[in-house]
Amino acid sequence: HQRWTLDEKTRMIRSAEGKCLDSASPGLLKACEEGSETQQWTPDPSSGLLISSEGQRCLQPKALDGKGSPVTLKACNPGRLRQQWKTQAPDAGEATRFGDLMI
């Protein structure tokens, strides 16, 4: 499990270890760089998609069931369940998708 925080001001998704999701990085993780466009994400509350700032690519787990799976970027598809993420306030407990993948 990893807990991630979406900063609504910078639109960066940060880990507790200070890494950020980066759409241009091969492993999608990189040291956080304020102002980096490739580290900016737009959550779509109506569809649950997390959309990269550079285009119509969305975050999804690589594995079909998503449990403990690394994430990847794919063309956005609101009908694809693996691209639908839930967010939750930090004090409300774990926000989960597919049982144990957290954002």
pLDDT of residue 71: 84
Q: What is the CATH number of domain 4-86?
A: 2.80.10.50
Q: Residue 102: what are its φ and ψ, rounded to 5°?
A: -115, 145
Q: For residue 23, is it left (φ>0), alpha (ψ between -120 and 50) or beta?
A: alpha
**Band of the pLDDT at 67, cuts 50, 70, 90?**
low
- Report the pLDDT value the prediction gives residue 77, as an integer from 0 to 100: 94
Q: Is 83 left (phi over 0), alpha (psi -120 to 50) or beta?
A: alpha
Give the gyration radius of the chain's Cα atoms.
Answer: 12
Residue 70 near residue 62 (C-beta atoms within 8 A): yes
Is the pLDDT score of 39 beyond 70?
A: yes
The pLDDT of 15-38, averaged and rounded, is 91
The total of other beta-carbon atoms located within 10 Å of residue 63's CB is 15
